[in-house]
Structure 1
């Protein structure tokens, strides 16, 4: 719940609306898990801007993460990573690789 609250606050501060959370139930053993497929489906909706995630590690284990990132990059969504693997100046880093947040006010 604390992580969800942190993501909602991040979105509020950046004028985004947090529209959904996708959570894996159990160990990730495949790239196209139900949660990830649901995320990809939502990214196809109009007015979807991007995926906000705490860190790249939330894409799953290394064997799945690279393929998931590739699939996200094929969408028109932006991948917004709040924390990098190695924090530098500040804790926030935005990665523009290609939405689940929506911009407030449309567009």
Structure 2
């Protein structure tokens, strides 16, 4: 949880600094209660910890992807690789062959 503290996901005491509410099915809450009881913590702590775990996972994934791809902005579908569109060529050909009587 030190990483979560360092990133500001928890306050110094490991408690929430702002609250939120979520709606879940009764079955989901029962499952969470059972899992929380295994760790001898409250439902709210279990949900908070699960959310922080997910945030840390995405943070690491973001850092990995940033290292892997850097600030690359070109993709296959950008205009830098598709200088002429097939539609533009077709339109140009149609206009160049028109004859006026």
Same topology, TM > 0.5: no
Structure in which a larger fraction of residues adopt helix = 2
User: Could you state the TM-score of these two structures normalised by the residue count of structure 2?
Assistant: 0.24
Q: Which has the higher contact order (CA 8 A, sep 6+)?
A: 1
